[in-house]
Chain A
Amino acid sequence: MNRIPGLIFLAIFLFLPLFLPGNGVCGDTVIVDAKKQYELAQKLFEEKDFSAAAHEYIRFFHLFPNHEKVARAKYETGVSFFYGGRFEDARRHLEKIAANFSDSGFAPDAMFKLSEVYFAMDDPGRAAAVLRDLITLTLNTQISDSACFMLGWLLLDKADVFKSRSDYKVYPIREAEKYFSMISVEGKKKYRIEETITSLEKISQVKKKNPTLAGVLSIIPGAGFLYCGRYRDALISFFLNSSLMLAAYQSFENDNDFLGGVISFVEAGFYAGNIYGSVSSAHKYNKQKQKEFIDKLKQEYPANQDKISFKTGFINNGVALMFTYDF
Chain B
Amino acid sequence: MLLRYNWYSITCTSIVFILISASLVCSQEKAQSNYFPDIIHFYQEYISPVDGDRCSMYPSCSTYLKKCVKKHGLLTGWIMGLDRFVRCGRDEKKNSPPVWIDGRKHTYDPVENNDFWWSDK
Residues of A within 8 A of B (CB): 160-161, 164-167, 211, 225, 229-233, 236-237, 240, 243, 247, 250-251, 258-259, 262, 265-266, 269-270, 272-274, 276-277, 279-280, 283-284, 287-288
Contact = CB atoms under 8 A, between A and B. Distances in A.
Contacts of A230: 87, 90-91, 95
Closest 3 A/B residue pairs (Cβ): A273-B82, A273-B83, A277-B83
Contacts of B116: 160-161, 164, 283, 287
A236 B83 contact: no
Binding site secondary structure of chain A: helix
Contacts of A211: 117
5 contacts: A167-B120, A231-B91, A262-B13, A270-B86, A280-B114
Contacts of B86: 233, 236-237, 240, 270, 273-274, 277
B12 to A, nearest CB: 11
Binding site secondary structure of chain B: helix
Interface residues on B, range: 20 to 34
Interface string B109-121: 0000111111110
A61 to B, nearest CB: 40
Interface string B1-33: 011000000100110011001000000000000
B2 A233 contact: no
A270 B114 contact: no
B13 A243 contact: no
Contact of A269 (B3, B78, B90): B78
Given A164-B116, A211-B117, A265-B21, A276 B79 contact: yes
* Residue of B3, B17, B78, B115 with most partner-chain A CB within 10 A: B3
B83 A259 contact: no
Contacts of A259: 3, 10, 14
A272 B2 CA distance: 23
A288 B91 CA distance: 14
A273 B80 contact: yes
Given A236-B90, A288-B95, A165 B80 contact: no
B111 to A, nearest CB: 11
Interface in B89-107: 90-92, 95
A266 B90 CA distance: 21
* Residue of A161, A164, A225 with most partner-chain B CB within 10 A: A164
Contact of B117 (A229, A250, A272, A283): A283
A91 B42 CA distance: 44
Contact of A232 (B84, B90, B117): B90
B75 to A, nearest CB: 9
B85 interface: yes
Given A230-B87, A270-B82, A277-B86, 9 more contacts: A167-B120, A230-B91, A250-B3, A262-B10, A269-B79, A269-B82, A280-B83, A280-B115, A287-B116
Nearest to B113: A284
B83 A274 contact: yes
Nearest to B6: A247
Given A259-B10, A269-B82, A283-B117, A277 B87 contact: yes
A272 B91 contact: no
A247 B3 contact: yes
A280 B117 contact: yes
